[in-house]
Amino acid sequence: MYTTDLFNFRFVDRDEARNKFRAFFANSDGNVLWVKGKRGLGKTTFINFMLEEYTQYNLCYFDIPKNSNSIEIISEFIKQLERQCDLNFIDETQKWYKEFYCNTYKIIQKITAVLFPKISNLIETVLDTGYYVITKSDERKESIDIIYHFISLILSQKKLCICIDNLSRCNIDTLQFFFRIIKNFLLEENFRACIVTTTEDLSTDTKDEIFHFLPFTDIEILRLKKYEYFFQIIYIFLTIFLYLLKCPQSLILSALRAFYFCGKPHISRSIFLYFRYQTWLKSW
């Protein structure tokens, strides 16, 4: 560890994870990058930090909100996609498709600005498994094709990386919907996909879906055990700072001696170095 690494603390001892990440972006082999780990260990920060190296990819980063239903989640996802290009999802849908047809009730819904003024209206129909979509050249396709097509239009202009954070917040139907979208583009050279899950929130069903239906390369973000004493130093440093405001110097010296004699001389020494310009501490 270099001297300055102590204060560049975000990714101390993350060499293995960084190497895996770079290898994935060099050649994804048709896989999704799965970043996983317990809450608060820096998964999101790690992803965003590493993606700074890949500015050639337009990043569609989507953090799934808590307590959202499928329509809300996918609608927000589409809005994030829109921000990566100069295309409008509703306009493109109206340009390429003319109607939805429901097998169950024999209902036809024309694709117009009147019927579908909002993305959520359109997504609600797409999620209804009874519908399929008809193109303007009279081809019959699955309704999810309108999203495939929109992403294809983006990929025809630029490279795209879709990163879905807090995937564990999805219900199974929404999860499968995202997997279908991602798997459709995994072999595209201009496409990369990352998912991020929190161990505490990951249900058995969600884990099974990932294992059985999504080819992945996984990176587990672990606690930095090697540098745990750094947290102790910060805690003690702040404690001493408060003591400086309230307590006699003799108590602080006693605390330093206690740490030294209880078998943690490295902590005592580190604290000492912070105060090396204090004349009263030099005499200790």
Span 100-149, pLDDT tens digits: 999 888 899 999 988 899 999 999 999 998 999 999 999 999 999 999 99
Q: Which whole number is the average pLDDT over 9-25?
A: 79
The confidence score (pLDDT) of residue 150 equals 97
Q: Are 6 and 237 in contact (CB under 8 A)?
A: no
pLDDT tens digits along 90-106: 999 999 999 999 988 88
Q: Which of 272, 282, 267 is closest to 235 using CA atoms?
A: 267
Measured distance CA(156)–CA(160) in Å, rounded: 10
Q: Is the dihedral of CA 205, 206, 210, 213 positive or negative?
A: positive
pLDDT in tens, 254-264: 555 555 555 55
- Model's pTM, two decimal places? 0.75
The answer for 13, left when phi > 0, alpha when psi is -120 to 50, beta otherwise, is left
Count other C-beta atoms under 10 Å from residue 83's C-beta: 10
Mean pLDDT of 14-28: 89
Report pLDDT for 174.
94
231 contacts 18 by C-beta, under 8 angstroms: no
- Please report, for residues 25, 62, 96, 178, the alpha-carbon distance to residue 156 in angstroms, rounded to integers and kept in the order given: 19, 21, 16, 21
pLDDT reading at 284 higher than 50: no
Per-residue model confidence (pLDDT) at position 4: 43
Answer whether residue 29 shows pLDDT above 60.
Answer: yes
pLDDT at 171 over 70: yes
Q: Does the pLDDT of residue 251 top 60, yes or no?
A: no
Closest CA to 58 of 147, 128, 153, 131: 153
